Amino acid sequence: MAAITPASYPPAVPARAGARRFVVYGAGAIGGVLGGRLFAAGFPVTLIARGAHLAAIRADGLRVESPEGAETLPVPAVGHPREIDWRPDDVVLLAMKSGGTADALSALAGVVDPRTPIVCVQNAVANERAALRVFPNVYGVHVMFPAAHLTPGVVQAQSSPVSGILDLGRYPHGVDGTAEQVAAAFGAATFVSEPRPDITRWKYTKLLGNLGNAIDAVCGRGDARRVAVDRIRSEGMAVLRAAGIPFVPFVEDRARRGDILQVKPVNGQARTGGSSWQSLARATGSIEADYLNGEIVLEGRLHGVPTPANELARQLANRAARDGTPPGSLPPEDFVALLDAEDEAFERSLRTEAAERDGGVLPTT
């Protein structure tokens, strides 16, 4: 499905007759750009935002910057779902970090029709399961969408002319009319989107790809970054295989991406980092590592697979977020050295356990 680019918008896009409204819960990088693009393409949109970002949108509109320029959009914005006059055909797009999903679902449950579609435009794999506890109609999205949000009231789409790839499907599997309608709306708003009956497989592949987010945030882009990321992802694949969780091979994922995404400078500045990097740069006090690397740690513990690399990445990312440490403060070589020390300690503990079990003498080397 071809995407409509920003340059192809008419000067004033009329509202699409009969279009379902999208309520975008979480108007940061992903939600802000997606909501802005849908609004610019003529779809009814309401954003749910908070703090200074909400105040800026209400005062001045949502500014969406891209390699092609910028536009300020008068998108309606509220601070809580109870401020919305809900309609029977509304679609909720969850776009906050995974740590905020439980609170969002609780807020929604008190005011929306239980049959309302909940579309998780989020990384990680825990959000859909959480939503399904509360709402029966849940959809997962494989998010391939370079975007940024560092300033209140401003979001950046960093790929052009296509803003992102947003394949989706009913969770845990299947495609229905709502999935097809949402994919068509995304496709009309500068995205490429296909309904997929096996969306969960694709989301687990994205999880493996996102395991390096903590390294990008904490360590930056030094020469040893690839070594660190390879160890983290190899560990992740071993865990998913042990757990019997299917995922799409990376070669198939790369083929899906192809050359669709074209990341370019915005305002003359190249892309700095992904969502976890942005969390440290904005000093938000939190980061998504518990739902990325932590997901692998959890499955590893459940299935008896050691996960020292992902546990170290999770701990360091959370510490950096708590302490307000700027992104890129730990050289990736230091991460690898810390991981090597963890591996040596683990091997030593195994030798100790074996010696105690067998009644033998503990080796000294």
What are the tens digits of pLDDT across the range 325-348? 999 999 999 999 999 998 777 667
pLDDT of residue 363: 52
In the block, which residue shows the tokens 């690839």?
A: 226
Categorize the per-residue pLDDT at 360 as very low, low, confident or very high, splitting at 50, 70 and 90.
low
On whether residue 364 sits in a domain, the answer given is no
Considering the domain architecture, whether residues 192 and 224 belong to the same structural domain is answered as: no
What CATH number corresponds to the domain at position 274? 1.10.1040.10
pLDDT recorded at residue 357: 73
Q: Which residues pair with 169 in a beta bridge?
A: 140
Q: Could you tell me if 182 and 115 lie in one domain?
A: yes
Angle 199-210/225-243 helices, nearest 10 degrees?
150
Q: Is the peptide bond before 152 cis (omega within 30 degrees of 0)?
A: no
Domain residue limits at 193: 1-197
| Residue-level pLDDT at 8 | 44
Mean pLDDT to the nearest integer, 107-122 = 97
* 145 lies in the same domain as 230: no
CATH of the domain at 80: 3.40.50.720
Query: pLDDT at position 69, please?
Result: 95
Let me know whether 284 and 159 are in one domain.
no
Looking only at the bridges linking them, the beta strands covering 118-120 and 91-94 are parallel
Residue 54 and residue 178 in one domain: yes
Specify the range with the lowest mean pLDDT, choosing from 102-111, 119-128, 327-336: 327-336
Angle between helices 250-257 and 199-210 (to 10 degrees): 100
Q: What is the pLDDT of residue 352?
A: 74
Q: What is the pLDDT of residues 138-150, one digit of tens each?
A: 999 999 999 999 9
Coil, strand or helix: which one is 344?
A: helix
Q: Are residues 193 and 322 in the same domain?
A: no
Assess if residue 59 is contained within a domain.
yes
| Number of domains the chain is built from | 2
SS (H, E, C) 27-85: CCHHHHHHHHHHHHCCCCEEEECCHHHHHHHHHHCEEEEECCEEEEECCCEECCHHHCC
Task: Look at residue 123 and tell me if it is in a domain.
Answer: yes
Q: Can you give the pTM of this predicted structure?
A: 0.91
